[in-house]
Structure 1
Amino acid sequence: MTHTTEKVPAGTAASASASVGTAPLPAPRRTRTWRVLTPWLFLLAPLTLLITFTYAPIANMVAYSFTDWDGVSPELHYTGVENYTEIFTREDLFQVCFVSGYYLIASVVQIVAALYFATVLSFQVRFRNFFKGVLFFPSLVNGVAIGFVFLYFFQDGGTFDTVLGLFGHHTDHAWLGTPFSANTSLAGVSIWRYLGMNFVLFLGAIQSIPGELYEASELDGANRWHQFRYIILPGIKPVLTLTVILSISGSLSAFEIPYIMTGGATGTETFVIQTVKLAFQFNKTGLASAAAVVLLLIILLVTWVQRRLVPDDRVDLV
């Protein structure tokens, strides 16, 4: 007599064991260990780069700010808070912060213009793809090239004077010759260059809003202003908050455009240009490090105040 054994499917056996209340066996210790270590293994490379190229240099900068190091000599001496005292007591070192006011005003104009164009081009407008490309194009151009282009644009008898002459306004004004006109011109160049980036951020945020909300609002009799006020603005609040933070920090740390076009002359020296000159022109790396730490603290303070005044709360539009 032969006996045959039926093979029970694994799923059936598992169901049977589950039905009788058998608890699943715990994973082996080696498996549990790998589950814990796997996320950290993926984070190992980015954390190493972040610590090496961000936090370690910041720590060195803070350490140098309490010394008189000249950036070349292997010897440095501890001076305490002398560098910070010099920054806040010497008017010529701290007054460059007022130049950032031009860029702060320019950032407000930039955000308003970017939000306006993003709102208009998010609806059905003729040639809207063409205008999107035109607005974003300056963000693709290298900052050094932009600086040289506008350096010739604002020179005496240059492109700007030629354009004004076409409208009957002839002037021999040196646009980069006085502090007010020079800073205004440089701030205008910053608006032209960074408008496209903010425009793209706003446009992406607006297009992520469900289209059903616009249709429902139109049925309720809402016009474009109502849609902007009650749908678009609340819907893009996180992106708008981020843009304001980036614009403020960028205004306080403006460097590329003014450094290339004027080198900080004619009253256009910004905080970063001054810091670079202290470190590499006057060999006062310790004082320059203190200035960089002060700028970092100002940006962090402004960001903290802005986050406290305008908390990043998610808005349910439905």
Structure 2
Amino acid sequence: MSYKSQKTLILVSFLFIPLVLLFTFTYYPAANLFYYSMLRWDGLTNKEFIGFQNYKEIFTNPDYFAVLKNNLYYFIGGVVQTGLALYFAVVLNGKIRGRNGFRVILFLPYIMHSVAIVFMFQALFNNQYGTLNAFLHAIGLDFLQQNWLGDRPTVNYALAFISLWKYMGLSLVIFMGALQSIPQDVYEAARIDGASASQQFWSITLPSIRKVVELLLLLTISGALSAFEIPFIMTGGANGTETFITKTIAVAFSFNQIGLGSALAVVMLLIVLLFIGLQKIILRGDDDQ
């Protein structure tokens, strides 16, 4: 067997299993989801093919897209989370005492189970015996006390804060990995030239990790659009906290409309792809300048 044939055989052999797994667990379920979206089916009885009627129902009923405004809270929280993670990453990348301990403390929420986090914040936000209201009372700020999970103006902010607190550790680790890849010689040369810490950040640090920032913004968009476990476990989507995913789950499994729920999932997939495409176009435009 020639060298070229051996090389081809090795490449095909190494790619075969990953491609089989990719088609089995990604493309086939996606195709099956689209097929289900064309059906009127409760998950048990016979399937009835109805074409694009489920999509017509989605785009003619404003209730389905109205819940997207709740996803906006998670997007804003995600942007704030990215900024805070970058700040802490820059600080903890320096030579400060106890930085490893602070890294563990900030990363710990990410590895905690969502159910445990929800129970913890339910005790924190409870309007009768909650720790937050008790703390505000202790320091004389009674006017700031709220029914954090009962009042519609505050509940989505509270849930978005939980998401921010939980996932900031992941962004922190990604940023720290990116910062440690920047050669220290560049910073030493900048300090010799008299550059301040802020000038080093804007001229060296931020341009060097720009692709990482773009990645985290992409994760922020997709994460905000797919927010599910925190509002689902904390409130079950009640009191104006329903997101697009919790709406999809309710339609599919609470109301036994598998076809309509599948169509909602397909629509969500298209929305995520749309935002990813827009972000790539915008950022590509910045690269061309």
TM-score (norm 2): 0.94
1:300 to 270, 273, 277: 273
Over residues 251-271 of structure 1, what are the superposed CA-to-partner deviations in whole Å (9 max), with x where a residue is unaligned?
011001110000000000011
Distance 1:128 1:313 in 2: 35
Q: How many angstroms does 1:312 deviate by?
A: 9.9
Distance 1:39 1:236 in 2: 33
Q: How many angstroms does 1:173 deviate by?
A: 2.8
**Any residues of structure 2 matched to 1:94-105 within 5 Å, and which?**
94-105=65-76
Question: Gaps (5+ residues) in structure 1?
Answer: 1-27
Residue 160 of structure 1 is matched in structure 2 by 132
Over residues 166-218 of structure 1, what are the superposed CA-to-partner deviations in whole Å (9 max), with x where a residue is unaligned?
21223663111122211000000000000010011111101100000000000
2:176 to 182, 185, 203: 203
2:98 to 109, 127, 130: 127
Give the total of aligned pairs: 285
1:311 partner SS: helix
Q: How many angstroms does 1:276 deviate by?
A: 0.6
Contact 1:117 1:199 in 2 (8 A): yes
Residue 6 of structure 2 is matched in structure 1 by 34
Q: How many angstroms does 1:230 deviate by?
A: 0.7
Residue 289 of structure 1 is matched in structure 2 by 262
1:72 partner SS: coil
Q: How many angstroms does 1:77 deviate by?
A: 1.6
Structure number with larger C-alpha Rg: 1
Over residues 271-309 of structure 1, what are the superposed CA-to-partner deviations in whole Å (9 max), with x where a residue is unaligned?
110111111110101111111111111111101110111
Distance 1:251 1:234 in 2: 25
Residue 249 of structure 1 pairs with residue 222 of structure 2: yes
Distance 1:58 1:298 in 2: 15
2:284 partner SS: coil
Residue 61 of structure 1 pairs with residue 33 of structure 2: yes
- Identical-pair percentage: 46
**Any residues of structure 2 matched to 1:162-311 within 5 Å, and which?**
162-170=134-142, 173-311=146-284
1:209 partner SS: coil
Distance 1:215 1:102 in 2: 41
Residue 87 of structure 1 pairs with residue 67 of structure 2: no
Residue 150 of structure 1 pairs with residue 83 of structure 2: no
Q: How many angstroms does 1:51 deviate by?
A: 1.1
CA RMSD, Structure 1 to Structure 2 (Å)? 1.6
Contact 1:190 1:257 in 2 (8 A): yes
